[in-house]
Amino acid sequence: MSDIINILPDSVANQIAAGEVVDRPASAVKELLENAMDAGATNIQLIVKDAGRTLIQVIDNGCGMSDSDARLCFERHATSKIHKADDLFAIRTMGFRGEALASIAAIAQVELKTRQADNELGTQVEIEGSTVKDQHPCSCPVGTSLAIKNLFYNVPARRNFLKKDTIELSHIEEVFRRITLIHNDISFSFHSNGRLLYDLRADTMLQRVCQLFGDAYKDRLFPVEEESDVVSIKGYVAKAEYAKRTRGEQYLFVNGRFIKHPMLTAAIEKAYTDMIPESYHPPFFVSLSVDPSRMDVNIHPTKTEVRFVDESPMFAILRAVTKKALGQYSLASEIEFNPSTEFDFSPAPKDYMPQTPRINYNPNYNPFSSQKSGNQTNRHADNLTPSAGMHGWEDFFDEKKQTSEQPDIRKSENPTIQSSDCFQILNSYIACPTPDGLLIVDQRLAHERILFERLSSHEKPLAAQQLLFPVNCQFSAADADIFEEMMGDLIHSGFAIERMKGSNVFVVSATPDELSDSELQELLDTLIRECKGAMMEKFVDRRTRLFMTIARRMSVKSQKPLCQEEMQQIINDLRNCSMSTVAPGGETISTILTAEKIGQLMNA
Ligand code: ADP
Ligand code: MG
């Protein structure tokens, strides 16, 4: 019998532990930014090279460290933030476990320069794979600069796991947004490969949202604010019409920290009931303050889940506050229409909850339809973006969807449908008598399918129209790079696009037929957002997603009167599609009203 147990050498144990804290460049960025904030910095610079692979550097003007702390901070469990177990219940700092720097030092080459205000000279420490290589006095500004070079240089397995630079960079950007959004009193800058991506001055939270997401957000949000014993709430929620198919722009913070909390998110979303379709999600930027002893702080540093003692009252308050904001401010914007009218603005009683106004903007409301609302919600989707989730895609790839229930008009016994035979119902459906019954085709979904297949096939790109005045579209630096990667597919789709040398501006001189100039920037923004979504999900082909969005955007709308020729064209083109029964998003395109079905309807 031989002994088989080894004690792992420290270097290996450290690397394993490090993997829990730092699994990709973005998590190292998070740790460094949090340390800078804990040090009381008012100005923080983030510099990355090659999406953090070769360099992540954070420079702050915080309190700095003494000579001996500069060395000690790389030891495991070295923290200045808690002293005894009780402190855990009053945590106000971002970090407290004393693990981050030790972990980072185990898997990278780190250079620290730091100086405290009352010292003339600072100190510089170089450390590599947990081994201190050098420490000497240096002259540097007050504060701390920490540079991480060659992350995972000694952990090839992790290094190989890293995604393309564009993906790692978008993770870093997300970390940057999650931190900068809620720390609007601190100024931040962010350089990537020598380019300035963000330059954020200390300002209001609303200004910060606009700096990060675009000035248009100023008009898209309502403020929320409430003080109560269990929670104080401050922030912004989007107007109903800016809801999206993805949850990307939902930011919830507790005590200055980004969290994910499905229940509290649901509380906000519940306030929108009846205002937006169920599959849509309103963007929001909401900050909660909670007594730290009423929440579970003993969470893993890289996780964003939190638990609260007062979860149910928080849910109720958050929903009520959001409802109030949606109700009050929708009303307020109507009042602004008529500034001469005097209103009594005396505050409402404390527990008064105005009714959420019902906004009915379903343009395809069909008074004769007895369909359940689930089907109707699809009709809201017209000018919004397709789902980034899996729903719909499964259907799309699932050939089994072509069941006998759904007529496959390709195989129709009587392929020549005479123009005179077609007619339009409610300006939204094309009806064609066939020997089996009345074929009813959703014009929008059918056209979406046709365009999608045309885009996906290489032979027949869409007709392009030359723009009278070329349109300049501008993106953030990171988005511009993603956009450049999509350009080939866009040109295939009928766009003519060129990037202006050395800038993030793209000149569009031609677009596929029927796309209006005003829709252009919005469509391109949508494409970039979805492209990022597709990259992160991995399983969906980015190109497919792109073509799907273009097809949806350009398809003939519901409620559009069509002439005989146009109807005939759609029916014929649909017949030539390789899949004619299901739209790219998974919705059913057509149905046949057989004598039997009509009989059932009559007696229902
Ligand atoms: P934690 O943040 O959990 O305490 P870290 O490993 O992130 O653990 O940092 C260890 C310690 O190093 C901190 O507690 C703090 O005292 C010091 N430190 C780290 N970064 C900075 C910084 N930018 N400025 C001043 N002190 C810092
Ligand atoms: Mg820390």
Helix (H) or strand (E) holding 322: helix 311-336
> How far is the centre of ligand 1, averaged over its atoms, from the C-alpha of 73 (Å)?
6
* CATH fold of 387-604: Ribosomal Protein S8; Chain: A, domain 1 (3.30.1370)
Contacts of 228 (CB under 8 A, 6+ apart): 313, 317
Express each pLDDT in 548-560 by its tens digit. Answer: 888 888 888 888 8
Atom 16 of ligand 1, residue of closest alpha carbon: 80
Give the SS3 label for residue 222: strand
Q: Is 211 in the pocket of ligand 1 (CB under 6 A)?
A: no
Mean pLDDT in residue range 6-34: 85
Give Cα 118 to chain centroid, integer Å. Answer: 44
Mean pLDDT in residue range 453-479: 79
Mean pLDDT in residue range 557-584: 85
Q: How far apart are CA 398 and CA 367, in angstroms?
A: 33
Most confident range, picked from 39-53, 211-225, 283-297, 403-417: 39-53
> How far is the centre of ligand 2, averaged over its atoms, from the C-alpha of 165 (Å)?
25
Contacts of 186 (CB under 8 A, 6+ apart): 37, 41, 42, 43, 44, 180, 202
> How far is the centre of ligand 2, averaged over its atoms, from the C-alpha of 76 (Å)?
11
- Residue 321 pLDDT > 80, yes or no? yes
> How far is the centre of ligand 2, averaged over its atoms, from the C-alpha of 399 (Å)?
51
Atom of ligand 1 nearest to the CA of 146: 23
pLDDT band at residue 535 using 50, 70 and 90 as cut-offs: low
Could you tell me the residue ranges of all domains in the chain? Answer: 10-202, 206-333, 387-604
Contacts of 363 (CB under 8 A, 6+ apart): 379, 382, 558, 559
Express each pLDDT in 369-427 by its tens digit. Answer: 333 333 333 333 333 333 333 332 233 223 333 333 445 554 444 444 544 578 999 99
Atom 7 of ligand 1, residue of closest alpha carbon: 100
Q: How far apart are CA 503 and CA 561, in angstroms?
A: 43
Express each pLDDT in 65-112 by its tens digit. Answer: 999 999 999 988 878 877 777 776 677 777 777 889 999 999 999 999
The CATH number, out of the four listed (2.60.40.1120, 3.30.230.10, 3.40.50.460, 3.40.50.1000), of the domain defined by the range 206-333: 3.30.230.10
Atom of ligand 1 nearest to the CA of 101: 6
Q: Is 583 in the pocket of ligand 1 (CB under 6 A)?
A: no
Q: How far apart are CA 436 and CA 417, in angstroms?
A: 13
Contacts of 223 (CB under 8 A, 6+ apart): 206, 235, 236, 325, 329
Mean pLDDT in residue range 6-22: 77
What is the reported pLDDT for 541?
64
Express each pLDDT in 324-344 by its tens digit. Answer: 888 765 544 333 333 333 333
Of residues 72 and 292, more confidence is placed in 72
Query: Comparing C-alpha atoms, which of 337, 300, 394, 306 is closest to residue 584?
Result: 394
Contacts of 373 (CB under 8 A, 6+ apart): none
Of residues 429 and 463, more confidence is placed in 429
Point out the least confidently predicted range of 53-57, 111-115, 270-274, 326-330: 326-330
Of residues 455 and 168, more confidence is placed in 168
366 within 8 A of 426, measured Cβ to Cβ: yes
Beta bridge partners of 593: 438
Atom 2 of ligand 1, residue of closest alpha carbon: 95
- Residue 43 pLDDT > 80, yes or no? yes
Give the SS3 label for residue 1: coil
> How far is the centre of ligand 1, averaged over its atoms, from the C-alpha of 90 (Å)?
18
State the ligand closest to the CA atom of 91: 1
pLDDT band at residue 536 using 50, 70 and 90 as cut-offs: low
Decide if domain 10-202 falls under CATH 3.30.565.10.
yes
Mean pLDDT in residue range 235-249: 87
Average predicted confidence (pLDDT) for the chain: 80
What is the reported pLDDT for 67?
95
